[in-house]
């Protein structure tokens, strides 16, 4: 690299997108005639000094994007003092805004037109420095920084500015009126901020020249509400992206007046109502249409021939059905088509499959489409890549056809496909990343062609009728992160070659007929495992201690096998069950591929699995990564529960039921503060239930039935809330919620048996106590009532009767006098 400094006459140097492991050579300072320098995404080493740039006074174009400039404190001064600089790009350089003194601006370039500083750590303190280029700056990109507060008014003074990109920051409020005063603004991107208010209020400030000049308006991923009202007044608009907000109401037909519109994205809002051909009557230039994830109903005439030719169609969750949309036949240039969850319950017409040569992604999932698939092997996709099919959750049937050899993703789960899966072996290994054929009626053996799929990240063949052994070629899947063969009829031992799949995070081999001992190499080689299930197989032997090396493991299910021996004491080494993680949801086992240009139409692959939880099996998908579960139920384990298991602070479910475990339930069980489900039933535990179990405040499922537990059930709101069935089969237990009372719960002297009052004597005792107490209380009430009645009669006879007679006599005399008158 040092020899470049000797090329003193060099004017253009481009070393971009290399993988140099050294820092930027300072010998570049000798290239005094250099006008353009592009070192973007080439140097990994940290840069500590940019002083050599000061020698390049002729420099007009500079791109150091991707370089680590976090240690360069004077980057602002250096680039400011390049007098002829026109184009500066420092994207993703870990910059911070150490603002220089005003004197540093004296020699600043008068020509700087393009300034891209995206994906750094710049704050709003950068604004004053930017205003020094008000007369020259045309293109400004500050996306992906730490800008906060309101959009500043200072941009109004940048009279030459045409492109303003402030996306992926923390800006608040709305759009200031000063933006509307800009003379020639063509592009305004405020996506991924915290803007609030009505959409109409924000756009109202884009008036005057901006109203007629604006070509690209991006307000996606904010918190805007209201309806689409006056968008049509932006007559020059080519791209409108208001997706991922809180907009409601219907889409007005006036949107059709935007005759220059090339891209329309209103996805992920709460829009509703009818969309007809009138909305698109003048949109002849439209190429990208995204109405997905709203409540829109699309109704077009059967002979509708739209004026546009779309490249990308996203209509997921729009109501298109029940018939298959015929207007798609006119779209011969479609590359990406997503009409998933569209309420279509029709047979896919044959003409539709003729569109495939132009498609790069097809998503028909979550409908009720019917029919069989044609042979796709002759399809030769554009750019030599066919990123994928997602036809899952439909009613497609018949044999699996051959697919294009350049397929990158194939999702056919939850259909009625039958027969063998050997046809998929024609797919080339350098492209295939996702293969999901789960929940079908497929039969036969696993094909021995896995050696061709070195890029495969997801292999899901669960819930079929596949048989035979797992072929050794599975060990050639070096990129594999998910392997699910659950609920088939596979048998034999696990192939040792599987240990080569060191990137595995999700391994589900449950509900088969696999046998042999659990290999120790699983713990030694598959250290990335988060989910591991061998449930309902025929594994024997003991639990290998090497499994304790799986520090990323969140769910361990070895239930319903014939595993024997003791529970390993080293389980507290399962770090993911010990430590609380701030962002557990990111381990929800999402996968996204951009290999070969393949994308999942903004979707992610989400693993799902059946997990024993609170006495039942549940299927989890999105929240699978939040669980922390150990399930050893239905084996032949013996010995005691090791105290070390209480170190699993984040464990939410522990199932050791139906084994031969003995000893006492450890006092340390109360340390499992996150525990919500505990099943120790069907063992030989003895002794008392530890008082510390009262500390399990999140416990909502408990089963201690059919053991040899004795003594009083500890008193707590938590334990007494469970049904008595949680404790049945333990005849020596007493106290609520069981019906047997404990010693000391009643009067002394009562006959006892093993601390429990005998039922018949308890009944007699309660009857006698009730009878004598009732006799005593009844006599007291009778005596008091009789005495009170006699006393009342005596008082009335001696006092009240004479007074009453005098009053009556007085009244009769008055009445007689009145009659005499």
Predicted confidence (pLDDT) per residue in 336-394, tens digit:
999 999 999 999 999 998 877 777 889 999 999 999 999 887 766 555 556 688 999 99
Confidence bin at 108 (pLDDT 50/70/90): low
**pLDDT of 467:** 97
Bridge partners, residue 629, by sequence: 555, 653
Q: What distance in Å separates the CA atoms of residue 637 and residue 565, rounded to the nearest whole number? A: 5
Do 569 and 548 touch, CB atoms closer than 8 A? no
Strands 677-679 and 701-703: what pairing? parallel
Q: What distance in Å separates the CA atoms of residue 14 and residue 37, rounded to the nearest whole number? A: 6
Confidence bin at 815 (pLDDT 50/70/90): very low
Bridge partners, residue 702, by sequence: 678
Better pLDDT: 252 or 29: 252
Mean local confidence (pLDDT), 42-71: 87
**Percent of the chain at pLDDT above 70?**
84
Q: How many residues does the chain have?
A: 821
Residue 808 has pLDDT above 90, yes or no: no
Q: How far is CA 82 from each of CA 54, 57, 87, rounded to the nearest angstrom?
A: 7, 6, 11
What separation, in Å, do the N-terminal and C-terminal C-alpha atoms of the chain show? 144
Residue 521 has pLDDT above 90, yes or no: yes
If you search the block for the tokens 């002979």, which residue do you land on?
303
Tens digit of each residue's pLDDT (9 = 90 or more) over 415-448 = 999 999 988 888 876 778 899 999 999 999 999 8
Q: What distance in Å separates the CA atoms of residue 424 and residue 402, rounded to the nearest whole number? A: 6
Residue 604 has pLDDT above 70, yes or no: no
Mean local confidence (pLDDT), 757-784: 41
Q: How far is CA 624 from each of CA 481, 606, 630, rounded to the nearest angstrom?
A: 15, 9, 14
Q: Which residues, including other chains, have CB under 8 Å from residue 412's CB and lie 6 or more apart?
A: 389, 391, 392, 396, 400, 436, 437, 440
Tens digit of each residue's pLDDT (9 = 90 or more) over 449-505 = 899 888 899 999 999 999 999 999 999 999 999 999 999 999 999 999 999 999 999
For the chain, what is the mean pLDDT? 85
Instruction: For residue 608, give the nearest of 584, 589, 592 by alpha carbon.
Output: 589
**pLDDT of 778:** 45
Residue 144 has pLDDT above 90, yes or no: yes
Q: What distance in Å separates the CA atoms of residue 358 and residue 313, rounded to the nearest whole number? A: 13
Q: Which residues, including other chains, have CB under 8 Å from residue 615's CB and lie 6 or more apart?
A: 677, 679, 701, 703
Strands 187-189 and 555-557: what pairing? unpaired
DSSP letter, residue 242: -
Mean local confidence (pLDDT), 243-264: 94
Do 259 and 283 touch, CB atoms closer than 8 A? yes
Residue 750 has pLDDT above 70, yes or no: no
Instruction: For residue 186, give the nearest of 238, 256, 142, 111 by alpha carbon.
Output: 238
**pLDDT of 81:** 87
Mean local confidence (pLDDT), 5-33: 81
Q: In this structure, how many other beta carbons lie within 10 angstroms of the beta carbon of residue 659?
A: 24
Do 165 and 191 touch, CB atoms closer than 8 A? no
Do 680 and 658 touch, CB atoms closer than 8 A? no
**pLDDT of 623:** 78
Tens digit of each residue's pLDDT (9 = 90 or more) over 280-311 = 989 999 999 999 999 999 999 988 999 999 99
Residue 796 has pLDDT above 50, yes or no: no
Q: What distance in Å separates the CA atoms of residue 47 and residue 25, rounded to the nearest whole number? A: 10
CA atoms within 13 A on the CB side of 90: 22
Residue 820 has pLDDT above 50, yes or no: no
CA-CA-CA-CA torsion sign (376, 381, 386, 390): negative
Residue 757 has pLDDT above 90, yes or no: no
Tens digit of each residue's pLDDT (9 = 90 or more) over 229-249 = 878 889 999 999 999 999 999
Tens digit of each residue's pLDDT (9 = 90 or more) over 22-41 = 777 777 878 888 999 999 98
**pLDDT of 102:** 53
Confidence bin at 740 (pLDDT 50/70/90): confident
Residue 609 has pLDDT above 90, yes or no: no
* Contacts of 488-493 spanning 24+ positions with Cβ under 8 A: 488/461, 488/462, 488/463, 488/464, 488/512, 489/465, 489/513, 490/446, 490/466, 490/514, 491/467, 491/515, 492/468, 492/516
**pLDDT of 132:** 84
Q: Name the most confidently modeled range: 699-708, 769-778, 790-799.
A: 699-708
CA atoms within 13 A on the CB side of 329: 12
Q: What distance in Å separates the CA atoms of residue 703 and residue 648, rounded to the nearest whole number? A: 20
Q: In this structure, how many other beta carbons lie within 10 angstroms of the beta carbon of residue 312?
A: 19
Residue 794 has pLDDT above 70, yes or no: no
CA-CA-CA-CA torsion sign (164, 169, 171, 175): positive
Better pLDDT: 810 or 182: 182
User: What is the rounded radius of gyration, in angstroms, for the C-alpha atoms of the chain?
Assistant: 39
Among 197-211, 449-463, 655-669, 738-752, the least confident range = 738-752
**pLDDT of 758:** 39
């Amino acid at each position: 690299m040092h020899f470049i400094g000797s090329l003193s006459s060099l004017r253009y140097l481009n070393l971009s997108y290399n993988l140099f492991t050294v820092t930027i050579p300072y010998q570049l300072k000798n290239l005094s005639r250099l006008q353009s320098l592009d070192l973007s995404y080439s140097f990994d080493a940290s840069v500590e000094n940019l002083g050599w740039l000061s020698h390049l006074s002729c420099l007009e174009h500079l791109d150091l994007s991707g370089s680590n400039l976090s240690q360069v404190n004077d980057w602002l001064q250096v680039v400011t003092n390049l007098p002829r600089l026109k184009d500066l790009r420092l994207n993703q350089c870990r910059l911070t805004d150490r603002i220089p003194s005003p004197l540093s601006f004296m020699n600043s370039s008068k020509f700087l037109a393009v300034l891209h500083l995206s994906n750094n750590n710049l704050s709003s303190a950068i604004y004053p420095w930017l205003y020094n280029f008000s007369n020259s700056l045309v293109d400004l990109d500050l996306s992906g920084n730490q800008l906060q507060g309101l959009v500043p008014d200072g941009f109004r003074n940048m009279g030459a500015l045409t492109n303003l990109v402030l996306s992926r920051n923390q800006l608040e409020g709305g759009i200031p009126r000063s933006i509307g005063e800009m003379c020639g603004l063509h592009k305004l991107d405020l996506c991924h901020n915290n803007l609030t208010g009505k959409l109409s209020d924000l756009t109202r400030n884009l008036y005057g020249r901006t109203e007629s000049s604006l070509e690209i308006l991006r307000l996606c991923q904010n918190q805007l509400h209201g309806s689409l009202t006056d968008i049509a007044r932006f007559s020059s608009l080519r791209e409108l992206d208001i997706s991922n907000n809180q907009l409601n109401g219907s889409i007005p037909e006036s949107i059709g007046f935007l005759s220059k519109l090339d891209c329309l994205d209103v996805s992920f809002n709460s829009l509703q109502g009818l969309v007809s051909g009138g909305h698109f009557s003048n949109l002849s230039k439209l190429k990208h249409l995204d109405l997905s994830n709203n409540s829109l109903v699309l109704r077009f005439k059967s002979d509708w021939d739209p004026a546009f030719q779309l490249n990308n169609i996203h209509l997921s969750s729009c109501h298109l059905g029940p018939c298959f949309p015929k207007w798609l036949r006119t779209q011969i240039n479609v590359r990406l088509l997503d009409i998933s969850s569209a309420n279509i319950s029709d047979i896919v017409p044959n003409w539709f499959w003729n569109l495939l040569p132009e498609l790069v992604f097809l998503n028909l999932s979550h409908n009720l489409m019917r029919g069989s698939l044609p042979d796709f092997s002759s399809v030769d996709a554009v750019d030599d890549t066919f990123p994928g099919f997602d036809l899952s959750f439909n009613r497609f049937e018949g044999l699996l056809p051959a697919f294009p050899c350049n397929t990158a993703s194939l999702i056919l789960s939850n259909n009625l496909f039958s027969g063998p899966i050997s046809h998929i072996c024609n797919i080339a290994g350098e492209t295939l990343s996702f293969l999901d054929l789960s929940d079908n009626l497929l039969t036969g053996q696993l094909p021995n062609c896995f050696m061709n799929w070195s890029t495969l990240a997801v292999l899901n063949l669960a819930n079929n009728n596949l048989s035979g052994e797992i072929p050794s070629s599975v060990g050639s899947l070096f990129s594999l992160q998910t392997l699910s063969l659950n609920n088939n009829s596979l048998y034999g031992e696990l192939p040792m070659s599987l240990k080569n799949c060191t990137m595995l995070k999700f391994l589900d081999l449950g509900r088969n007929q696999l046998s042999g001992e659990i290999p120790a190499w699983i713990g030694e080689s598959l250290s990335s495992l988060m989910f591991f299930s061998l449930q309902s197989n025929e594994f024997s032997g003991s639990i290998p201690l090497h499994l304790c090396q799986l520090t990323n493991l969140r769910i361990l299910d070895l239930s319903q096998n014939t595993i024997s021996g003791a529970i390993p004491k080293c389980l507290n080494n399962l770090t993911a069950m010990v430590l609380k993680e701030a962002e557990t949801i990111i381990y929800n086992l999402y996968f996204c591929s951009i290999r070969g240009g393949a994308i999942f139409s903004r979707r992610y692959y989400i693993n799902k699995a059946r997990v024993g939880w609170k006495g039942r099996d549940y299927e989890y998908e999105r929240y699978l990564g939040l669980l922390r579960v150990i399930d050893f139920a239905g084996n032949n384990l013996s010995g005691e529960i090791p105290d070390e298991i209480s170190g699993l602070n984040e464990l939410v479910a522990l199932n050791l039921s139906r084994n031969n475990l003995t000893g006492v339930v450890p006092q340390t069980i109360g340390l499992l503060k996150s525990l919500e489900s505990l099943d120790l039933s069907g063992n030989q535990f003895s002794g008392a239930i530890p008082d510390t179990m009262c500390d399990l405040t999140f416990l909502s499922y408990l089963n201690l039935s059919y053991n040899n537990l004795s003594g009083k059930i500890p008193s707590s709101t938590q334990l007494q809330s469970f049904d008595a069935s949680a404790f049945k089969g333990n005849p020596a237990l007493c106290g609520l919620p069981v019906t047997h009372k404990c010693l000391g719960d009643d009067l002394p002297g009562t006959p006892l048996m093993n601390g429990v009052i005998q039922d018949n004597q308890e009944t007699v005792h309660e009857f006698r106590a009730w009878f004598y107490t009732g006799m005593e209380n009844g006599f007291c009430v009778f005596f008091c009532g009789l005495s009170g009645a006699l006393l009342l009669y005596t008082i009335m006879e001696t006092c009240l009767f004479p007074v009453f007679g005098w009053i009556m006599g007085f009244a009769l005399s008055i009445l007689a006098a009145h009659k005499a008158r």
